[in-house]
């Protein structure tokens, strides 16, 4: 069967399932998309990687990447190969030298790992034909905003994370310090706003 390449299009909070998120994957050369419901931890991991953030300590999928790299294992591709009883099935195709192995995985974990290895994500026509959603509009691939934790810690003392004007009034050194603190506290929503302000100043 011919594989169809997918790209991440959207990552949104689910309106139907509390505490869950919907990850939308669009076919590269078409207008169909797959919508996958994923958990908060996996959504956070995907968003952090797309935003180019670097937590102080490795997340679970970072640990997988570090482990694989240490032992010379390359992740070549991710394949969403089946859909059964409302669940997408995926596999991680790995290689170590000339040896190729396929590892069964949840689709959300597989996609988070794909991002860390910059490898393609594929599916098959029968999956898109059966559960794919068509749209007449082109799918715009965009980086989702980093997600706030369900029980976030307090924002940086004296700084309201929703007030971007506060960041604009801070000097670059303080912003960089605040960015590291936000990442350490896993407050990626605030970190994203600080990073945007530093990018405007060409400090990142």
Closest CA to 125 of 81, 180, 93: 81
Q: Flag the least confident range among 51-55, 145-149, 166-170, 195-199.
A: 145-149
pLDDT at 88 > cutoff 50 = yes
pLDDT at 125 > cutoff 90 = yes
- Kindly list the structural domains of the chain, giving each domain's residue range(s) and its CATH number in brackets, ordered by start: 3-134 (3.10.690.10), 148-204 (no CATH)
Residue 193 near residue 170 (C-beta atoms within 8 A): no
Residue 73 near residue 95 (C-beta atoms within 8 A): yes
Across residues 145-169, what is the average pLDDT? 48
Indicate whether this model's pTM tops 0.75.
Answer: no
pLDDT at residue 184, as a whole number: 60
CA distances (Å), origin 80, targets 37, 111, 166, 188: 14, 9, 44, 28
Rounded CA separation 28/32 (Å): 9
Tens of pLDDT, residue by residue over 19-74, are 788 999 999 989 999 999 999 889 989 988 988 888 888 889 999 999 999 999 99
pLDDT at residue 141, as a whole number: 40
């Amino acid at each position: 069967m011919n594989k169809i390449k997918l790209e991440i299009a959207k990552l949104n909070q689910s309106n139907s399932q509390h505490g869950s998120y919907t990850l939308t994957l669009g076919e590269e050369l078409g207008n169909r998309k797959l919508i996958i419901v994923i958990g908060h931890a996996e959504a956070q991991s995907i968003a952090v990687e797309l935003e180019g953030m670097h937590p102080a300590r490795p997340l679970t999928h970072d640990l997988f990447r570090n482990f694989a790299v240490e032992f010379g294992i390359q992740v070549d591709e991710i394949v969403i190969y089946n859909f059964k009883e409302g669940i997408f099935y995926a596999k991680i195709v790995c290689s170590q030298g000339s040896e190729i192995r396929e590892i069964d995985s949840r689709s959300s974990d597989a996609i988070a790992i794909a991002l860390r290895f910059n490898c393609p994500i594929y599916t098959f026509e029968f999956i898109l034909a059966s559960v794919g959603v068509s749209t007449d509009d082109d799918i715009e691939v965009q980086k989702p905003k980093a997600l706030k934790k369900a029980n976030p810690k307090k924002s940086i003392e004296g700084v309201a994370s929703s007030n971007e004007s506060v960041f604009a009034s801070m000097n670059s050194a303080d912003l960089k310090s605040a960015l590291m603190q936000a990442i350490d506290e896993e407050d990626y929503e605030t970190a994203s706003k600080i990073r945007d302000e530093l990018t405007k100043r060409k400090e990142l």
